[in-house]
Amino acid sequence: MKIKRFAALIFCITVTVLIVLNFPNLSSKKVKSPPNTNQLIVAHRGASGLAPEHTLASYELGEKVNGTYIEIDLQMTKDGHLVAMHDETVNRTTSGTGFVKDMTLNEIKKLDAGSWFNDMYPQYANEAYKGLEVPTLKEIFQTFGNEANYYIETKSPIVYRNMEEKLLELLDLYQLSSHNEGTKHVIIQSFSSKSLEKIHELNPNIPLVQLLAYKGNATISNKQLATIKKYAIGIGPNFQSIDQAYVEKVRKSGLDIHPYTINDKEEMENALLWGVTGVFTNDPELFQKVLNTFKSSENVGGKY
């Protein structure tokens, strides 16, 4: 009896081994990651396609048109105030000229940050945009509170000494950061890995995203991904340079991917099909519509 049982056991083991050897896909098939349908929708510089970028009006509109995160680019004034502005100079988006670093907050506040938009985009012009001020980060937090979601970039941190410390101080002041668990309302991004590593060292619980800019087709090595993963939860490449294989490789590594800046409907559809976990867009409302259609298609099992 024991011999029969032993023989039966050997037979079962042999059959199992043969199945695995002859049909490896049953045990090692590469499963394609399902498309992510809970994407972050980052209102790029606020709803900057509809209102003057980096103004309170733009941020307010970004929330109204389904932006889940307000993107804020930071520069720092001569007297140490963090202000929302994409460029190092005030030339493009205000009535003034000069570098932010060479101007006091009082001087910055005297500039008109809205009229240029009316001149450049008359189809979206609004009298209320005339005379808008450049907001400080403090004013933004005071306006939107600690229940809003902020996606903040340290711009040119090499130019501004202690920018990271000042940012973290304000996040603490407005209860937007946590030293015990990851915050749900703030993500910090930068092209500077040193800036992100510094922030990670000061507060490892704040999620960080490494921005990347490619010329031509994007490639990223496993070594690069592993290095970034030491301090960041994701990457932000320029969308025009990536493809589906790139997105899948990043996601397989365990990192999120939030490409910038996607304003075209077809590109939005491609981004969703590829499986990105968030997007930067000047038109959050359009992306939300595309996302809703995509989710509906997934729910009924159809092809997008």
Averaged pLDDT for residues 174-184: 76
Rounded Cα–Cα distance for residues 81 and 66 (Å): 29
pLDDT of residue 64: 87
| Distance of alpha carbon 104 from alpha carbon 90, whole angstroms | 12
Confidence class for position 181, pLDDT limits 50, 70, 90: low
Confidence (pLDDT) at 178: 73
Q: Which of 237, 76, 90 is nearest to 158 (CA)?
A: 76
In the set 44, 185, 200, 258, the catalytic residue is 44
For residue 282, what pLDDT is reported?
Answer: 87
CATH superfamily entry for domain 36-87+135-299:
Phosphatidylinositol (PI) phosphodiesterase (3.20.20.190)
pLDDT of residue 304: 56
Instruction: Count Cα neighbours of 252 within 13 Å in the Cβ-side half-sphere.
Output: 13
SS (H, E, C) the chain: CHHHHHHHHHHHHHHHHHHHHHCCHHHHCCCCCCCCCCCEEEECCCCCCCCCCCCHHHHHHHHHCCCCEEEEEEEECCCCCEEECCCCECCCCCCCCCEHHHCCHHHHHCCCCCHHHHHHCHHHCCHHHCCCCCCEHHHHHHHHCCCCCEEEEECCCCCCCCHHHHHHHHHHHCCCCCCCCCCCCEEEEECCHHHHHHHHHHCCCCCEEEEECCCCCCCCCHHHHHHHHCCCCEEEEEHHHCCHHHHHHHHHCCCEECCECCCCHHHHHHHHHHCCCEEEECCHHHHHHHHHHHHHHHHCCCCC
Higher pLDDT, 31 or 197: 197
What does the pLDDT look like over 222-276, one tens digit per residue? 999 999 999 999 999 999 999 999 999 999 999 999 999 999 999 999 999 999 9
Beta bridge partners of 89: 99
The verdict on whether 179 is a catalytic residue reads: no
pLDDT (tens digit, 9 = 90+) per residue, 73-111?
Answer: 999 999 999 999 999 999 999 999 999 999 999 999 999
Distance CA 209, CA 68 (A): 16
The backbone torsions φ and ψ at residue 142, rounded to the nearest 5 degrees and listed phi first, read -65, -35
pLDDT in tens, 110-169: 999 999 999 999 999 999 999 999 999 999 999 999 999 999 999 999 999 999 999 999
The pLDDT of residue 63 is 87
Q: Which of 54, 81, 86, 200 is catalytic?
A: 86
Q: Pick the residue with more confidence: 66 or 147?
A: 147
Supply the pLDDT for residue 14. Answer: 45
**Closest by alpha carbon to 268, among 280, 257, 254?**
280
Residue 279 has pLDDT above 60, yes or no: yes
> Cβ distance 62 to 46 under 8 Å?
yes
What are the pLDDT digits (tens) for 197-218?
A: 999 999 999 999 999 999 999 9
Structure tokens at 117: 């938009």
Determine whether 258 is an active site residue.
no
Say what the pTM is: 0.84
What's residue 24's pLDDT? 36
- pLDDT score for 296: 85
Buried b / exposed e along 167-199 (16+ C-beta atoms within 10 A): bbebbeebebbbeeeebebbbbbbbbeebbbbb
pLDDT category at 65 given cuts 50, 70, 90 is confident
Going by pLDDT thresholds of 50, 70 and 90, the confidence category of residue 20 is very low
pLDDT exceeds 70 at position 302: no
